[in-house]
């Protein structure tokens, strides 16, 4: 989730999209994929009581609320890394 957001921010630094927005979207998608993979792999084998369902729903909501924030921050970090590397290459070439 974090690595994908950094890559999205670095790629967006060269495009016309804001790196923080690209990281935000990548973070949200990463959170959705993480929840989907858990439901498909482990969720089918767990015995679901009412307490487990409530806990899982609260955890999913928290994950989906926090993952875009991590994506936003990681997208900005990816943008700065890309700009630093690009600036370093230009300085070294001249």
Contact criterion met (CB below 8 Å) for 52 and 59: no
Domain interval for residue 21 = 2-85
Structural domains in the chain (count): 1
pLDDT in tens, 34-80: 888 888 888 788 788 999 889 989 999 998 888 888 888 888 888 88
For residue 89, what are the CA distances in angstroms to 15, 76, 80, 81, 85? 18, 20, 14, 12, 6
Is residue 91, in this structure, part of any structural domain at all? no
pLDDT in tens, 12-29: 777 767 888 888 888 888
Quote the pTM value: 0.70
Is residue 92, in this structure, part of any structural domain at all? no
Is residue 93, in this structure, part of any structural domain at all? no
Is residue 60, in this structure, part of any structural domain at all? yes
Structure-block tokens of residue 25? 């979207």
Is residue 49, in this structure, part of any structural domain at all? yes
Could you please report the per-residue DSSP string of 63-89?
Answer: HHHHHHHHHHHHHHHHHHHHHHHHHHH
Q: How far does CA 17 lie from the centroid of its chain?
A: 16
Is residue 41, in this structure, part of any structural domain at all? yes
Structure-block tokens of residue 92? 């070294």
Is residue 42, in this structure, part of any structural domain at all? yes
Is residue 34, in this structure, part of any structural domain at all? yes
């Amino acid at each position: 989730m974090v690595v994908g957001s950094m890559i999205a921010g670095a790629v967006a630094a060269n495009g016309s999209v804001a790196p923080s927005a690209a990281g935000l979207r990548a973070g949200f998608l990463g959170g959705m994929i993480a929840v989907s993979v858990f439901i498909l792999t482990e969720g089918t084998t767990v015995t679901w009581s009412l307490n487990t369902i409530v806990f899982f729903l609260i955890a999913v909501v928290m994950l989906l609320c926090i993952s875009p924030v991590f994506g936003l921050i990681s997208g900005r970090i990816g943008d700065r890394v890309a700009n630093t590397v690009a600036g370093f290459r230009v300085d070294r070439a001249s």
